[in-house]
Amino acid sequence: MATTSNLRIRRTEAQVHALLGVEREIRANDHNGNRKYLKDFSNAFRNYKSVLDEQQLLNAVTHADTVLIGDYHALPAAQRFAASLLEQRVQPGDRPVVLGVETIFARDQHILDEWWRREISEAEFRERIRFDLDWGYDWASFYELMLTAREQAEAIYGLDCMPREDLRKIGARDRHAAHKIAEIRQKHPNAVIVVLFGESHLAPAHLPGQLRERLPEERVLTVLQNVDALYWHAAGEQRKQVRAVGVSDDVVCVFNSTPLEKYENYRLHLSRWCREAGEGPDLCPTIYNLMDSLAEFLGINRYSAHNSTQPKFLMDLLPEVYGPSSGDLFRRLLTRGAFDEAQIAAIARRVEERGSIYLPQANVLYIHDFRMSYAAEETARFLHHACQGLPRRKKNAPSLDHADQFYAAVVENALGYFGSMVLDPARPASEDENVREILQLEPSRVELSRAQCEELAEASHSSERFAANSQNLGYRLGRNLYDFYIAGKITRGVLRNIFLTHLDAPGSARELCWKLVGKLRRGKLA
């Protein structure tokens, strides 16, 4: 009988040789292999306790409340295995099944829900979740999983948040995903939760550890796929082919591909990404970087799990961002959204004048022509709405009278202008002459009064004057806030509190405006 070592050599020698060249090319293009986070995964799974047959594997899955499936993103077989396992787990009269995926950001849940309800096509779903731009792996195998879940499961949820490319923040993504899974458990107390997440997240101290802290009574099974060390070890077994192994009481590993197939698929993806790099700029990372920078400046915790002095999971509130190549899709969203013809015309004019616009009703930011100051202003406007929980998107949001709407617009413009100055201090000042005439201000004067604000509000009954007056009064306040900050008369904490002030209650926007005006006149906001 052949020895274990001889079996392993015979089964793997040619594959190992072929892998050497693939791994050299991967290392030349991907320098993350030595990161501690990734090593934690590879070091955690070096040996297994037993070989499992298909029935033993299915039994392990059946007894779990939550099944964490490790995904090697570049390998279509990994997503297809997840689809088959989900389908196997759905049994008549048994517990319902819910799917959670890393591929879709939690912030895009509304898009996923539209697709679930069959309100949008496959093509629109793919484009709006930015699958090719933000994910870039095989669509067919992922969409096969989604279709299987839509037919078989009770619900589908997006679990991920930004930033995906920064391994320094990867622990925050684990905490975020664990929180989202705990939320799913609250919504579906009797369901089996099947999760497909990147394999490196499934080291014991990563996502599984975070999940154990949040749901200590949950029976969690980790299902790994094609882990290299376990594959090479199993290659020495007397059996012709090992389908699965038991690593520990709550971890199994299945084999549906060879390491060579895994890494060849990854190498092909790297090659395709390099070829596509010259197709034009993707402005989404630029906008998200501006948002992240402004939030960091204000000391806002983008990963806070609580609504108190921070917005809950700000990373889940990030807007859909459309660039010049998505103009047709953006126009379709407008025509079927909560915008009438006059509003659509006003949006078009603003885009033509500024190059970009943020629409809080849809939480969408469109950039036709990137101009730093305006893009920064629209980003700050988003952050202002996000800090309030995006009230404009809520169907039961309270209605405000004309004055409240005016003052809310003033605050929005003030914070937008302030944020743009923080991100782009070279932005030139601008002001409508009509506003200067009403306020009777000399160019050098910055003081305002309540009476002047009220007079400006009264003069803003037409939609054109409403937009111009609220913008220019807001700009004046925003410029004053920035000047006070530069002079050391206002702290970032105070500025953060202004961003976090909720304006959806009647009178709250007016009260905040008057408070700012009074403190600016006295020369102290801290």
Q: Which residue has the higher pLDDT, 259 or 280?
A: 259
pLDDT at residue 442 in the model: 41
User: What does the alpha-carbon distance between residue 516 and residue 513 come to, in Å, rounded to a whole number?
Assistant: 5
What mean pLDDT is predicted for residues 226-254? 89
**Distance (Å, whole) CA 27 – CA 33:** 8
> What's the pLDDT tens digit per position in 20-33?
666 666 665 555 65
Q: How many CB atoms lie within 10 A of CB 157?
A: 21
Q: Which stretch of 124-128, 428-432, 467-471, 517-521 has the lowest confidence by average pLDDT?
A: 428-432
Angle at 452 between CA 446 and CA 458, to 5 degrees: 140
pTM above 0.85, yes or no: no
Sequence-distant (≥ 6) Cβ neighbours of residue 405 within 8 angstroms: 466
Which residues fall within 8 angstroms of residue 5, CB to CB, at 6 or more apart?
236
* CA–CA gap between residue 43 and residue 405 (Å, rounded): 58
> How far is Cα 46 from Cα 39, in angstroms, rounded to an integer?
12
The predicted structure's pLDDT at residue 112: 97
> In order of start, what are the domains of the chain with their CATH numbers?
4-279 (3.40.50.11550), 284-522 (no CATH)
- Strand stretches in 217-335, DSSP E: 220-225, 244-248, 251-254, 320-322
Q: pLDDT, tens digit, for every residue of 350-362?
A: 999 999 999 998 9
Contact yes or no for 300/308 (Cβ under 8 A)? no
**Residue 158 is encoded by which pair of tokens?**
């997006």
Q: Is residue 261 within 8 Å of 267, Cβ to Cβ?
A: no
Report d(CA 70, CA 243) in Å as an integer: 16
Spatial separation of the C-alpha atoms in residues 410 and 198, rounded to whole Å? 44
Looking only at the bridges linking them, the beta strands covering 66-71 and 192-198 are parallel
Q: What is the mean pLDDT of residues 114-127?
A: 96
| pLDDT band, very low/low/confident/very high, at 44 (cuts 50, 70, 90) | very high
- Does residue 367 have a pLDDT over 70? yes
> Does the bond joining 96 to the residue before it have cis omega, within 30 degrees of 0?
no
- CB neighbourhood size of 123 (10 A): 9
The rounded distance, in Å, linking the Cα atoms of 291 and 196 is 28
